[in-house]
Structure 1
Amino acid sequence: MTQRLSRTAYPDLPRYPEKMIQFGEGNFMRAFVDWQLQQMNKQGLFQGSAVLIQPLENGLGGMLAEQDYLYTVLLNGIHDRKTVNDREIVTSVSRLINPYTDYEAFLALAEDDRLEFITSNTTEAGIAYRPEDTLDGGPQVSFPGKLTALLYRRFQLGKKGFVLIPCELIDRNGEKLKEIVHKYAEDWNLGEDFIRWLEQENTFCCSLVDRIVPGYPRDKAAELEQELGYRDSLMVTAEPFLFWVIEGPAWLADRLPLAAAGLNVVVTEDMTPYRERKVHLLNGPHTAMVSLGLLAGLETVEDVMNDEVFSAFVDRLLQDELIPMLDLPRPELESYAESVLERFKNPFIRHELTSIYLNSISKFKTRLLPVLLRYVRERGELPPLMTLAFAALLLGYRADRLKPQDSPEVLDAFREAWSRPDEFITAILRKSEFWGQDLTAVPGLEAKLSSMLKLLEASGSRAALEQSLGGEIVCSE
């Protein structure tokens, strides 16, 4: 049997001092942020590592410790019209702290002057306020609660603040995080001096991340073990493409020299155009395809793009409903959309639809709902493909359908609403905490979703797509 990846097996791998605190130990952050630290380190530009904070009580801490916090990133795909097939052991993670088992070790990070940056990816639902969190009741449930406790300890020690760069896929993520930290500071009566320190000594940046990370290559694990010569339970597959937009001060490009390392990273004063392009033209089609694809028995993004009906759906969604609603030059949007389709068709990446399906309600709210509402305002009608995707999403949240993974609050609300099928659409659309508004006010949306749900249940998602691609969906009442 091949040996496990570890520092015992590879004693010459470099070690670096901790310079970054990272909330989140999942596939994306390890193949995105930590991989970028690795590229800077190899060029002598950063010489630092990340200490990971496990955001939930159960996580990957044990598996990471078994491998001495080493893992392999596998880059597979087409980049600049060249085939990329790279394997690299990442050495830029120092250790992991589980605050649920060692809260004091977590707070002790405030003592280290070398720690300068804080990054995070705690899913779209992670940047949220939990009123039950208290300063003395640690570990706090929420990521912002834990962060506030850490920042307060840092303040008490009289030390400098941090540069905070959240990577959660929500609009204005840095501002939202800062807003919640301020709310905790007020609720916990941490004082005006602390609030002043928050403002003056810390830099909260909004950011936008872009890299498709399918994760552990389960179907090729045995083959890769033979190729690599070691066992790696944490290897992660990613596409070669990477883009990171950080809205922050110009000096950040020198303090965190990602672009200097040749990485596709932009530090800008305004990330809005980049965000709209990426969230709506890359993430939007992902969210639109996932429920429809899963209902049809498809498993991966590649399956979707190799299917004549589903690939036509993605193309028409981009061209007819998404691109016309964005405020950037059409040629630029079409060029980006073309690159998105190329990435979706990447034959080297197994991007499972079930991984995209996680927390689909908040994803729909962020990625597709703003475009749907703008379409209604400007054209006076519902976009047929987006509305069908919405109906499929709602159908998938029936417990006997796609077994969605979401917050307990969301799942409980859907379970309750589905217990009264005749009132389901109205009850769910009225959940302003899901959508940011009462969607029963959108003209025709209740009736159209009801019609499409009946069509999906009676005929399946493929037949529904075929009808929508042929024109307006017609469903008898």
Structure 2
Amino acid sequence: MGLQQLNHSSRKLPQYPTKVIQFGEGGFLRAFVDWQIQQMNQKDLFQGGVAVVQPIGKGMTSMLDAQDDLYTVLLEGKLNGEKIQEHEVIEAINETVRPYEDYQAYLDLAKNDDAEFIFSNTTEAGIAFDENDQLADRPQNSYPGKLTALLYERFTLGKKGFQIISCELINHNGDALKKIVLQYATLWNLGTDFVNWLNSENNFYSTLVDRIVPGYPRDRAAELEQEWGYRDNLIVKAEPFLIFVIEGDPKLEKLLPLRAADLNVVVTDNMQPYRNRKVSLLNGPHTTMSPIARLAGIETVGQVMSDPDFYQFINDEMYEEIIPTVALPQDELTEYAEGVKERFENPYVKHELSSIALNSISKFRARLLPTFKRYAAARHQLPQRITLALAAYLKIYAGKADFAPQDTPEVIAEFAQLIKTNDYIHAALADTTLWGEDLTQYRGLAELVTQDIRVLDELGARAAVLQINQ
């Protein structure tokens, strides 16, 4: 007899009122935000559930519904030197909403007086302004457009505002989101009263999120299901380590008692030191290794770290190109870098490079370009390892790899035009829509990228790494 699908019979907690509207149903939010809500609920501190909004047309909310919105988080790794292997059925989600199928159900979320928080993780590309979005659209294309429509509905109902917490990995993510919402308020002529309500009744928080979430453990799912005694198509694997830094009003600690639940959460008036350290030393190497190692036939972060050539490459990037550019004490950065390497080497986590590769261009811009610029300004030379990563991305996005790039339709379309130009490399580097600036202004970059692509084409990615390692 086959295993039974995970369902409501596995619930142990009450189904609490929906206090959270969450944009995004991917593995990260489920293993980060929803997991933390579960921990608060278990300690009777929050007593709130989540309504998950699927922000794009295709997603996994129907899979959640098939399991009565339950799923399992599997934590494996080391935390404070202790080996951890544990799993937990997460019961935080109450319902899912698909605006592309039922827009009215989406707007009806504004009627809920219990709803107090909005969380989102729509990837780095998600917080973007689309001038074609209109209030009358059902739904709007962009996440900020959808959010503005929901906030306006809330306003017209005369209800209180929200605590809006962005988890996208861009700097000042909450500020960026609010700026775009205000742009839509102007574009759609929503009026001064709405803008005043938006400013006075809503708080937009910028954040730093940190937990490695490889996602669904394809290689072990069947084995785990047999061990647990139920089928779960939405298992999320994550490391035990977590830090959540939130910049904004300290009253949030009482409204959202994460720290009281013994979670590693910091509410601060300045998150920049935390962000610079994490984005530079954790996300930066991820974004470097993904294109180069994939071109060499390597599939996971763990395989990168167990390969002597690539281990040296990433270690040297950390210590020679990244740490010198971060304005924090050397000993603190060294300690953090060594901790990051331990997390990368986690034998329980099969973190696929292909998952890191999603929306690579915006990730390079957010995670590596700031380090590149600081290094170039301080050293008056180019960081070789970051430059090789850039060259590898240009090779992949030109369609010259055994795998296709995974990015937004706009980015894919932009590269489709770039490869038609007479000088693809120069045109791509000069494209301000991709990078926010003309990268050919950096002396020697076009020549070095051209050279790196030649080595990648003729000798392969490992040879390119070995040349730099020497």
Find out whether 1:20 has 2:13 as its counterpart: no
Aligned-pair CA distance for 1:419: 3.1
Aligned-pair CA distance for 1:237: 0.3
Aligned-pair CA distance for 1:11: 5.6
Find out whether 1:431 has 2:407 as its counterpart: no
SS of the residue corresponding to residue 368 of structure 1 reads helix
Aligned to 1:407: 408
Find out whether 1:321 has 2:327 as its counterpart: no
1:69-468 alignment runs, 5 A limit: 69-401=69-401, 402-420=403-421, 423-468=423-468
Aligned-pair CA distance for 1:397: 1.3
Deviates more, 1:383-392 or 1:118-127: 383-392
1:206–1:12 CA distance, 2 compared to 1 (3 A): closer
Aligned-pair CA distance for 1:398: 2.4
Aligned-pair CA distance for 1:415: 2.2
- The answer to whether the 8 A contact 1:18-1:49 is kept is yes
Between the aligned partners of 1:14 and 1:301, the Cα distance in structure 2 is 39
Aligned-pair CA distance for 1:416: 2.3
Q: Which amino acid in structure 2 is aligned with residue 158 of structure 1? A: G
Aligned-pair CA distance for 1:451: 0.8
SS of the residue corresponding to residue 414 of structure 1 reads helix
Residues 250-295 of structure 1, C-alpha deviation per residue, up to 9 Å, x if partnerless? 1111110001100000000011100100001000000000000100
Q: Which amino acid in structure 2 is aligned with residue 380 of structure 1? A: H
Residues 285-338 of structure 1, C-alpha deviation per residue, up to 9 Å, x if partnerless? 000000001000000000000000000011000000000001001110111001
Residues 372-424 of structure 1, C-alpha deviation per residue, up to 9 Å, x if partnerless? 1111111111111111111111111122413011011211222222234x501
SS of the residue corresponding to residue 52 of structure 2 reads strand
Between the aligned partners of 1:386 and 1:57, the Cα distance in structure 2 is 34
Aligned-pair CA distance for 1:450: 0.6
Q: Which amino acid in structure 2 is aligned with residue 415 of structure 1? A: A
Between the aligned partners of 2:245 and 2:71, the Cα distance in structure 1 is 26
Q: Which amino acid in structure 2 is aligned with residue 295 of structure 1? A: L
Between the aligned partners of 1:25 and 1:389, the Cα distance in structure 2 is 30
Between the aligned partners of 1:306 and 1:398, the Cα distance in structure 2 is 29
Aligned to 1:474: none
Alignment gaps of 5+ in structure 2: none
Between the aligned partners of 1:258 and 1:37, the Cα distance in structure 2 is 8
Aligned-pair CA distance for 1:216: 0.5
Residues 200-223 of structure 1, C-alpha deviation per residue, up to 9 Å, x if partnerless? 010000001000000011100110
Aligned-pair CA distance for 1:13: 4.6
Between the aligned partners of 1:430 and 1:318, the Cα distance in structure 2 is 27
Between the aligned partners of 1:11 and 1:138, the Cα distance in structure 2 is 34
Q: Which amino acid in structure 2 is aligned with residue 354 of structure 1? A: S
- The answer to whether the 8 A contact 1:414-1:428 is kept is yes
- The answer to whether the 8 A contact 2:225-2:231 is kept is yes
Between the aligned partners of 2:11 and 2:216, the Cα distance in structure 1 is 25
Q: Which amino acid in structure 1 is aligned with residue 332 of structure 2? A: E
- The answer to whether the 8 A contact 2:13-2:42 is kept is no
Between the aligned partners of 1:436 and 1:56, the Cα distance in structure 2 is 25
The two structures have a TM-score, normalised by structure 1, of 0.97
SS of the residue corresponding to residue 423 of structure 2 reads helix
SS of the residue corresponding to residue 207 of structure 1 reads strand
Between the aligned partners of 1:293 and 1:419, the Cα distance in structure 2 is 27
Aligned to 1:46: 46
Residues 135-180 of structure 1, C-alpha deviation per residue, up to 9 Å, x if partnerless? 1122111110010001001111111100000100011100000000
Residues 32-60 of structure 1, C-alpha deviation per residue, up to 9 Å, x if partnerless? 00000000000010011110000011111
Deviates more, 1:405-414 or 1:265-274: 405-414
Between the aligned partners of 1:208 and 1:122, the Cα distance in structure 2 is 14
SS of the residue corresponding to residue 168 of structure 1 reads coil
SS of the residue corresponding to residue 63 of structure 2 reads helix
SS of the residue corresponding to residue 171 of structure 1 reads coil
Between the aligned partners of 1:419 and 1:462, the Cα distance in structure 2 is 29
SS of the residue corresponding to residue 374 of structure 1 reads helix
The two structures have a TM-score, normalised by structure 2, of 0.98
Residues 94-145 of structure 1, C-alpha deviation per residue, up to 9 Å, x if partnerless? 0100011111111111111110000000111101111111111221111100
Aligned-pair CA distance for 1:12: 4.7
Q: Which amino acid in structure 1 is aligned with residue 278 of structure 2? A: K
Between the aligned partners of 1:400 and 1:321, the Cα distance in structure 2 is 28
Aligned to 1:475: none
- The answer to whether the 8 A contact 2:11-2:91 is kept is no
Q: Which amino acid in structure 2 is aligned with residue 4 of structure 1? A: Q
Residues 333-356 of structure 1, C-alpha deviation per residue, up to 9 Å, x if partnerless? 111001000000000001000000
Aligned to 1:5: 6
Q: Which amino acid in structure 1 is aligned with residue 411 of structure 2? A: V
Q: Which amino acid in structure 2 is aligned with residue 436 of structure 1? A: G
SS of the residue corresponding to residue 25 of structure 1 reads coil
Between the aligned partners of 2:352 and 2:46, the Cα distance in structure 1 is 34
- The answer to whether the 8 A contact 1:399-1:415 is kept is no
Q: Which amino acid in structure 1 is aligned with residue 331 of structure 2? A: P
In percent, how many aligned pairs have the same letter?
53
Residues 4-50 of structure 1, C-alpha deviation per residue, up to 9 Å, x if partnerless? 0001x436553111000000001000000000000000001001111
Q: Which amino acid in structure 1 is aligned with residue 396 of structure 2? A: G
1:48–1:335 CA distance, 2 compared to 1 (3 A): same
Task: Tell me the C-alpha RMSD between the 2 structures.
Answer: 0.9
SS of the residue corresponding to residue 298 of structure 1 reads coil
